Amino acid sequence: MYNILMCDDEEGIRNLVYKYAKYEGHNVTLVDNGVAAVEECRNSRFDIVILDIMMPKMNGFEVAREIR
């Protein structure tokens, strides 16, 4: 079982990933912008981070640099 952070500004995509990951038994945290993703990574440990590139506030590349 993995802890997954899913960050996408489109609710439908977030929910789809959530549905399939939960079905497979994984824990999933959903956020809708890059700033929230960075904050979640500061507060929790994730095995997998799925980032959309084009998001409000911080894009996926900026988030990846920040959480590394």
| Per-residue pLDDT at 31 | 97
Q: Which of 39, 40, 48 is nearest to 20 (CA)?
A: 48
Beta bridge partners of 31: 7
Helix ranges (DSSP H) in the chain: 11-23, 34-43, 60-67
Task: Give the predicted TM-score (pTM) of the model.
Answer: 0.90
6-51 pLDDT, tens digit each: 999 999 999 999 999 999 999 999 999 999 999 999 999 999 999 9
